[in-house]
Amino acid sequence: MTIYVVDLEAVDTRYTREWKAYLPKQIRSQTKKSVITISGGEVPQTATPGAFLNFAGTNNYKSQQMLEISREFAAGNIKDGDYFLYTDAWNPTVLQLKYMAELLGVKIKIGGMWHAGSYDPADFLGRLIGDKPWVRNTEQAMFDAYDHNFFASQFHIDLFCKSFKVQKNKIYQVGWPMEYLENVLDSYQNMSKKNIILFPHRLAPEKQPEIFRDLKEHLPKYECIICQEQTLSKNDYHNLLGEAKIVFSANLQETLGISWYEGALVDTIPMVPDRLSYKEMAMKEFKYPSSWTENIDSYRKNKDKIIDRIHDYIRNYKDYTVKLKKQQYLLKNNYFSGKKLYEVIASDQ
C-alpha cells in the first residue's frame, strides 16, 4: 500500500507551509506505509487578500497535480490498495482521479479533508457564489467521490449535512493532524508576558476585524495588534503569541480555529464567542456570549461587557492559566492530533 498525499499549496503565512513539511512524515511514522506527495510545484502562492489561498494560483497548482497523477497511472505505478489523501477536499481533480481508477479497474481508496465550501454562508464561496447549481453539484460529486470525508469538528459536519445528501458512513470527525505544533512552539513557551492582545485572523468580513479595531481605541493601556497588518515572519508571529496574554476572536466563520490553539500552547488566553466550532471546543472560562459580537451593532451594545472581560483576563492572568492547561489538553487530544485520521487510512487496506 502506498499513500499518495495530494497536498495544498504552501502559503508562508498559513499552516499549509508546515503541512508540506510535516504531514508526510507524520503519516509515514504513524502508518508505517510508503508515502508519496503529489505536488503542484512551486507556483507563486501569495493569498488573494482576505482569503486562505490564491484563487487563480490554486487552479494552476491543482492542474499540475492532475498531470502528475495521470502520469502515475500511465506508468502503471498506481496499484490496488493504494490510498489517495487530499489535504483539501475542495479539489476537482478527485473527479478525474476517480474517472481513471474506475475505467482502468484499479481499486484505490480516496480520502478528503474538508475545510470550507459554498455550504458555509460566511466562506468566500458561500458569500460570492452561494448555492448556484454548478458549485453545489460539484461539491456533492466530490463528496461522493471520496470514500472517507474528513472533518475537523462536529460543527463542520453539521454545517455540511444541511446542504447535501450524505452517506453518514462516509463521514469522519478526526480533528486535524497538527501534533507537530507542540514542538514548533516549544521554544516560545515561558516567555515574559506583556499586556498584548492579538487578532491573528484573516482580514476578511467573516472575521470582523472592524470590531477589534474599535476595541483598540477603547483599550489604550494595552497593545492591540492585528497580525495581518504587520509584516511578520512565522518567527515574529510566534514571538508575539509567546508574549501576548489574549488571542481575541469575533469570528463568524470557524470550523476549527488554529491560532487560539497555538496561543493556548504558549499560555495565551483565548477569548472566543460561544458559537461555531468554538461552542464544542472551548471551555466556558474562555467563551463569551455569542450575542456580544453577532454583528457590529450587537458589539456596540455589548462593548462595555467585552472590555470588562478583557480587563478581567489581563488582571487575573495567572489564575486563568491553570484552566488554560486543561483547555490545551482537550484541544491537543481531541482536535489537533492526526491519530484518528491515520487510523482510518491505515485500517482501510
CATH number reported for the structural domain that contains residue 120 in this entry: 3.40.50.2000
| Segments forming the whole domain that contains residue 319 | 181-334
pLDDT recorded at residue 114: 98
Q: Over range 307-319, report the average pLDDT.
A: 97
Question: Is residue 50's pLDDT more than 70?
Answer: no
Mean pLDDT of the chain: 94
d(CA 151, CA 303): 34
Question: Are residue 38 and residue 48 in the same domain, yes or no?
Answer: yes
Q: Over range 117-137, report the average pLDDT.
A: 93
Question: Are residue 136 and residue 284 in the same domain, yes or no?
Answer: no
pLDDT tens by residue, 55-107? 788 888 999 999 999 999 999 999 999 999 999 999 999 999 999 999 999 99
pLDDT band of residue 49 (cuts 50, 70, 90) is low
Question: Are residue 6 and residue 145 in the same domain, yes or no?
Answer: yes
Question: Are residue 74 and residue 187 in the same domain, yes or no?
Answer: no
pTM of this structure? 0.92
Q: Over range 241-262, report the average pLDDT.
A: 97
Q: Over range 144-169, report the average pLDDT.
A: 97
Question: Is residue 240's pLDDT more than 90?
Answer: yes
List the one residue out of 177, 172, 164 whose CA is nearest residue 109. 172
Question: Is residue 52's pLDDT more than 60?
Answer: no
d(CA 326, CA 186): 17
Number of domains in the chain: 2
d(CA 332, CA 2): 28
List the one residue out of 311, 181, 193 whose CA is nearest residue 242. 193
Question: Are residue 175 and residue 198 in the same domain, yes or no?
Answer: no
pLDDT recorded at residue 124: 85
pLDDT recorded at residue 45: 55
